[in-house]
Structure 1
Amino acid sequence: MNRGDQLPADWAPNDDPTSLAAMHVAMQWKELDPAHLAAAMAAMEPSLRREHRERLTRMQMQREAAQQDLEERQRARTDRRRMVEVVCGTVVALAMLGGGIYAAPHSWWLSTLLCGPSLLALTKVFVLGRSDPDDMKLLSAAARVSTDSAGRAQASQQPPEA
């Protein structure tokens, strides 16, 4: 709300030069007969209509400018949000990859969980911003397969105990 156009609380009509001039003109018009007054009003009508159209056009242009400004701010906010999502997805993916590589010599199963399908699923959630209903089913099946195959590979690499 624009408060610049409001009058102060202690405003009196006699203080305003515009209202004083209007009162002076009104006093002069009071002395005219009705025919002259009607002619004067008819002469003023086109000017008043033109001023009204100008005001309406100005208001429409201000409304359109405000709408464009709002759309631009929303677009900038959406772009910032998308960039934050991409950065968060990248950080999560790099952290999971780093954790998987660090845990690989000691906990093969943790490494397969961190570097496997869960990495892809979390990256999809952060970067694309969506998760399909079948993602969890596919993720659990892929995690099961990856841990089973890693377990078989780990068991074949261990030397037989004598």
Structure 2
Amino acid sequence: MTPGQQQTQPTGLEIAVQWGQLPPEHLRAALKALEPQLAREHAYRMACLKAEMQSEKDRRAHVLRMTGLVAGLAMAVGMLAAAVVLGVNGQPWLAAALSGPSVIVLVKIFVLGHVGADDVKQLMKGSNSQMPAPPQPAPEPTPGSPPFV
């Protein structure tokens, strides 16, 4: 054996091959003795595979959760920034639509990953009560009167 190699314990199959050179009575005794060892090795390999699969499943769930958090944060910041810009530029209706309950519901969808029916009802109720009344159109000028400035 070279210094870089590790000494490993022979597996049950390797031992069975060595015992195969002996008479059948000895082989039968060897196989009876090796059966529990092979069962333990199989159970160990299966447990390792199950742990690897669970680890990969947990990693994927973590990535999905973090992606939802980042997307929810980006959406909330983007909608609020757009609402401020629209509000400053004289678009109060669009600003109210972007900064109202819709931000909360959309962020909840991304962060929690689900939305309930009551959230949709609150969104509709909040958007209707938050909006200011639409501006009334200017009255039509009567013929012969000076134009409105």
Partner letter of residue 49 of structure 1? K
**Counterparts of 1:64 and 1:72, CA distance in 2:** 12
Q: Does 1:143 align with 2:127?
A: yes
Gaps of 5+ in 1: 1-18, 30-39, 156-160
Note the C-alpha offset of 1:54. Answer: 1.0
Counterpart of 2:105? 121
Structure with higher Rg: it is 1
**Counterparts of 1:128 and 1:43, CA distance in 2:** 64
| Partner secondary structure for residue 116 of structure 2 | coil
How does the TM-score come out when normalised to structure 1? 0.66
Cα RMSD (Å) of the superposition? 2.6
Correspondent of 2:39 among 40, 52, 56: 56
Correspondent of 2:28 among 27, 35, 45: 45
Note the C-alpha offset of 1:41. Answer: 3.6
Q: Does 1:107 align with 2:91?
A: yes
Partner letter of residue 108 of structure 2? K
**Normalized per residue, which structure has more helix?**
1
How does the TM-score come out when normalised to structure 2? 0.71
Could you report, residue by residue, the CA deviation over 1:25-74 in whole angstroms, capped at 9, with x for unpaired residues?
5xxx8xxxxxxxxxx54444332112121111101100000000000010
Counterpart of 2:141? none
Counterpart of 2:80? 97
Partner letter of residue 33 of structure 2? R
Partner letter of residue 110 of structure 1? L
**Counterparts of 1:102 and 1:53, CA distance in 2:** 73
Q: Sequence identity, in percent?
A: 21
**Counterparts of 1:147 and 1:96, CA distance in 2:** 17
